[in-house]
Amino acid sequence: MRLSTPAFVLRRVRWSESSLILTLYSLDLGRASAMARGALRPKGSFLGRVELFSEGEYTLSRREGREMDTAVEVSVVRHREGLRGNPAAFAGAGVFSEWLLSVVSHGNEPSEPVYHLLGLVFSLLEEGLPPLPVICGGVQRLLALSGHGMTVDRCAVCGGSPGESPRWNPLEGGAVCGGCRPGAPRVLPGILEFLSRSAETSLDRAARVRLWPGGYRQCLGLLREYTEAHIEKRMPVKALRTMEDMLDAT
**Contact positions vs Zn ion (CB under 5 A):** 155, 157-158, 177, 180
Q: Give least dist CB 167 to Zn ion, A.
A: 9
- How open is the CA angle 84-12-135, to the nearest 5 degrees? 55
Q: Which is nearer to Zn ion, 42 or 183 (CB)?
A: 183
Q: Is residue 203 within 8 Å of residue 121, measured between CB atoms?
A: yes
Q: Give least dist CB 217 to Zn ion, A.
A: 28
Spatial distance between the Cα atoms of 85 and 125, rounded to a whole number of angstroms: 11
Residue 114 phi, psi (nearest 5) = -65, -40
| Inter-axis angle of helices 87-103 and 112-126, nearest 10 | 160
Q: Give least dist CB 193 to Zn ion, A.
A: 18
Q: Which is nearer to Zn ion, 161 or 201 (CB)?
A: 161
C-beta contacts of 193-199 below 8 A and 24+ residues apart: 194/136, 194/219, 195/136, 195/140, 195/150, 195/152, 195/219, 196/152, 196/153, 198/136, 198/137, 198/140, 199/140, 199/144, 199/152
Q: Which is nearer to Zn ion, 130 or 162 (CB)?
A: 162
Residue 72 CA, distance from chain mean position: 27
Q: Which is nearer to Zn ion, 27 or 175 (CB)?
A: 175
Q: Give least dist CB 163 to Zn ion, A.
A: 8
Q: Which is nearer to Zn ion, 108 or 161 (CB)?
A: 161
Q: Which is nearer to Zn ion, 125 or 177 (CB)?
A: 177
Q: Give least dist CB 147 to Zn ion, A.
A: 23
45 Cβ neighbours under 8 A, 6+ residues apart:
38, 73
Kind plus residue range of the DSSP H or E element containing 66: none
How many beta carbons lie within 10 A of that of residue 16, not counting itself? 11
Q: Which is nearer to Zn ion, 136 or 157 (CB)?
A: 157
Q: Give least dist CB 143 to Zn ion, A.
A: 21
Please report the beta strands in 37-90, taking only residues with DSSP state E, as ranges in sequence order: 55-61, 68-78
